[in-house]
Chains A and B, each alone.
Chain A
Amino acid sequence: MNSEAFFVLGANHHKTPLAVRERLSLSADAAATLAAQLTQLQGLREFTLLNTCNRVEFYGVAADPLAAQRVQAAFCSQQQVDPAEFEQIRLNLRGADAVRHLLEVAAGIDSQMIGETEIFGQVKDAYAAAQSRGHTGPVLNRVFQKAFQAAKHVRTHTAITEGQVSIANVAVDLAHTIFGDLSSTRILLLGAGDIGEKTAKAFQSRQAGSLTVASRRFERAMELATALHASAMPFEQRDARLSEYDVVVCATSAPGVVVTRDAAKAAIQKRPARPLFLIDLALPRDVEASAADLQNVFLYNLDDLAKIAEENRAAREAELAKCRAMLAERADALWKHIEPRLAELKANHHG
């Protein structure tokens, strides 16, 4: 069977719990050591290792049907994992199924967060690293390059990557909907907790103009501001300086209201031509709900953002069948193209 000659072996978030994935995850040094071992492995002609927080996968081309088992043995030995335990949770695909899997991974439809695009870069990096070390050959080169083309095609021709699915990114998208280019947008973060920090980072990743942090504990605000290369502001100044900001991310654990309607009204009156976007991520809520009625003030709370994220997630899931069909068609064509080459490889091995 030629299908044996192309395989993917590994573990990912579908069947492997986080605690086990932690044990299977390869450090940079461990990955290099293992790669060096695999180059010596009998019957293994080409391989690429994809190692991310959600998956460890080996893509291999073998002239010998036992090569995949040897890869598994080397990996389990390296990570000190019981092979029997690994077999319970492993991903083990051959031939056209393995090709299809790679295409789906590169397109982001096999990811935990469907449609995410970070995986595309990770697959590209993994392939580039393998190629630069001479671990790939004509089969993997073709399969990976076709996988990148297929991923791009799916992203362009379906809505699989449209709409953000995390609260922080939804908030940034909304800010973009209001202000367009965010490079001149000033952000105020009230509260120095985890969700606020994530949202602030999401704004920074989209080149927001400037970030100021204010927290009820000034030293904590300073600490976070330093980590984020932002500035800090005493919490008590928030009302007086509210008009200086375009986006206010409220994420405190204060028991009462932190931004009142009157404060928002005073702020918008000082800069009437620019909208004020209030993002309330706190529970209990930080912003007085009636602030939403003010002209040119837009208030979104945690429920609003979660609802948008959920709608986007549902929309992406609705695109899954279409994406899978597109990728299956391309995977089948690709498999037909590489199968004769694999047959040749096996024949040479046996000869």
Chain B
Amino acid sequence: MFAGLTDRTWLWFAAGFYLAGLLLGTLSLLRGQQQSNTRINVIIALGYLCQLIGLYARGRVVGGCPLGNTFEIFQFTAWSATTLYLVVGVTFRLSLLGYFTSCLAAVLTLVSLAIPAWDLTRRAKIFGGNPWIELHASLALFSYGVFALLALTALMLVLRHYSLKKKHLSGWFSFLPPIMDLDHISVRLLVTGVVMMTASLIGGTIYWARDPASVNSTKLLMTVAIWLAYAIALTLRLKGHLLAKRFAWTCLALFGAALLSLGPVDASRHSPALPAPDHVVPR
């Protein structure tokens, strides 16, 4: 029944599931009810499975990790965030985190699918056939997934602060987790993201040192700037200089900057842009 479906069709299915999570969650909140954790987790898991099949099909055709254009990068970032949610986020037992994850994944996947220009061409041989560079790239993007989840917990932290300061505690504000829980989880996610990105940059630096011309300076500057910004935020947080609402706003702003940097980073690659593969059927 599903044998003839193309990679993009699977990715549309995934986006559909994430959108369903968003809509059902919003509906529950509007009714003043909390969405069942089981229901949202099942919806996200189904979306994740479809996305995995779609990305796997694309990866088989291009012969590596599908990170060759903006469409693939957005899809991979959404996939990383949902992976992290399903593996770690579920254990946080934070009410609403599943809902916010489905919102983020729905936005990233739908936007990337809705702009065909992002998937007309893709950079070929971006990793030069080297699996270590591929690991470096996928680690870097996976850290973006961690930062995406961090942006969600930061957003919840901002909302929780607002509700407590303004004394709006009823309605869907009542489903937000406690401030201290959100703060602890945000710090853990920030540490994880920075560690992953650092590992990715160390791997990348080894190859860059061998062949400096292989890396475009725009990409290098952007990536290092994002890493540095997150590392500074982490240092300030651990030293107690960046706290509470300011910390949350910083995490949100940094994720916005990280997302915006993806376009220029992708465009600055040296490798040639070739037509993206026709819609492929997973095998």
Contacts and interface: CB of A to CB of B under 8 A. Distances in A.
Interface of A: 159, 163, 174, 176-180, 272-275, 292, 295-296, 298, 300, 304, 307-308, 311-312, 315
B232 interface: no
Interface of B: 32, 160, 164-165, 167, 169-170, 174, 177-181, 183, 240, 243-246
Contacts of B245: 295
A298 B179 CA distance: 12
B94 to A, nearest CB: 10
Given A304-B167, A308-B169, A178 B179 contact: yes
Given A272-B240, A295-B244, A298-B164, A180 B180 contact: yes
Nearest to B164: A298
Contacts of B181: 180
Given A159-B32, A177-B169, A272 B243 contact: yes
B186 to A, nearest CB: 12
B179 A177 contact: yes
B243 A296 contact: yes
Contacts of A298: 164-165
Contact of A177 (B164, B165, B183, B243): B164
Tell me the dominant secondary structure on chain B's binding face. Answer: helix
What are the 6 tightest A-B residue pairs by CB atom distance, in nearest-first order?
A: A180-B178, A180-B181, A296-B244, A272-B240, A179-B180, A178-B179
Contact of B243 (A159, A163, A273, A304): A273
22 contacts: A163-B174, A174-B164, A177-B160, A177-B164, A177-B178, A177-B179, A178-B164, A178-B178, A179-B178, A180-B178, A180-B181, A273-B240, A273-B243, A275-B179, A275-B180, A275-B244, A295-B243, A298-B165, A300-B167, A307-B167, A312-B170, A315-B170
A159 B244 CA distance: 31
A63 B181 CA distance: 59
A27 B92 CA distance: 49
Nearest to B240: A272
Which of B165, B178, B240, B245 has its CB near the most chain A CB atoms (within 10 A)? Answer: B178
Contacts of A274: 180
Given A178-B179, A180-B180, A295-B244, 6 more contacts: A177-B178, A178-B164, A273-B243, A292-B165, A308-B169, A311-B170
B179 A179 contact: yes
Nearest to A271: B240
A311 B174 CA distance: 13
Nearest to B176: A177
Nearest to B184: A180
A5 to B, nearest CB: 41
A292 B165 CA distance: 8
Contact of A176 (B178, B243, B244, B246): B178
Contacts of B177: 180
A280 B181 CA distance: 25
A333 to B, nearest CB: 26
Contacts of A272: 240, 243
Contacts of B165: 292, 298
Given A159-B32, A295-B246, A178 B170 contact: no
A178 B243 contact: no
A159 B31 CA distance: 12
A116 B164 CA distance: 25
Contacts of A315: 170
B6 to A, nearest CB: 43
Contacts of A296: 243-244
A180 B179 CA distance: 7
A272 B167 CA distance: 22
B205 to A, nearest CB: 33
Nearest to B173: A177
Contacts of B179: 177-180, 275
Nearest to B163: A177
Nearest to B182: A180
B37 to A, nearest CB: 15
Contacts of A311: 170
Contacts of B169: 174, 177, 308
B9 to A, nearest CB: 39
A177 B170 CA distance: 12
B180 A178 contact: yes
A307 B169 CA distance: 11
A143 B245 CA distance: 53
A290 to B, nearest CB: 13
A308 B178 CA distance: 17
A56 to B, nearest CB: 36
A308 B243 CA distance: 28
Nearest to A305: B167
Contacts of A304: 167
Contacts of A178: 164, 178-180
A163 B174 CA distance: 9
A270 B141 CA distance: 38
A159 B170 CA distance: 12
B140 to A, nearest CB: 30
Contacts of A307: 167
